[in-house]
Amino acid sequence: MLYSIISIKSIDFWVFEMLSRKAKYGLLAMLALARRYGQGPVLIADLVTEEELPRKFLESILLELKKQGLLHSRRGRQGGYLLSRAPHLIFVGQIIRVLDGPLAPVSCVSQTAYRPCDECRDERRCGIRMVMQDVRDAMAAILDGRSLQDVVAMVAARERTDPGS
């Protein structure tokens, strides 16, 4: 989880960022590959140029996604990266979990990395845990319900209805 400080009229605010830069870059690359699905492997150099991403960082991200089975790679002249399965079968939540870990805002509600909170005396009656469970469930429902194909279609629809932005 990342935090940054922003200033508005000389008042500083802490801003919580759910996604790391790694996850954002990974999602951008996966969406670019989804747009080109069925057209063969895509060179890292093309992803770097089109998405304006740092090459070395992107290489490590793509390698991690490949190790987790979301990408395939081919070497040689016709080489590059491609999705391991159709874009409608790869979900945003999967990608985020690979690159950033669990979606849960606190460890005591995580389904993949559960750990009790140090501050909690009675987990079943903890109001914070109850709210964070709802947050985790809502996030998971959205992120695990949106495939790469869904996101590509959402962007294309927005570009058709709002081409000037």
Q: Which of 2-6, 88-92, 98-102 has the lowest mean pLDDT?
A: 2-6
DSSP 3-state of 138: helix
What are the helix (H) ranges across 15-111?
Answer: 21-35, 44-51, 55-67, 92-100
Which one has a higher pLDDT value, 16 or 36?
A: 36
Q: What is the model's pLDDT at position 1?
A: 46
Which structure tokens are listed for 12?
């500083």
* Whole-number Å distance between alpha carbons of 76 and 78: 6
Residue range 114-138: average pLDDT? 88
Regarding beta strands 80-83 and 2-8, do their DSSP bridges make them parallel or antiparallel, or are they unpaired? Answer: unpaired
Burial 99-115, CB ≥16 within 10 A → b, else e: bbebbbbbebbbeeeee
Check if the beta carbon of residue 59 is closer than 8 Å to that of residue 83. no
Q: At what angle do helices 21-35 and 148-161 cross, to 10 degrees?
A: 80
Mean pLDDT, the chain, rounded, equals 88
pLDDT in tens, 56-69: 999 999 999 999 99
At residue 9 the predicted structure's pLDDT band, cuts being 50, 70 and 90, is low
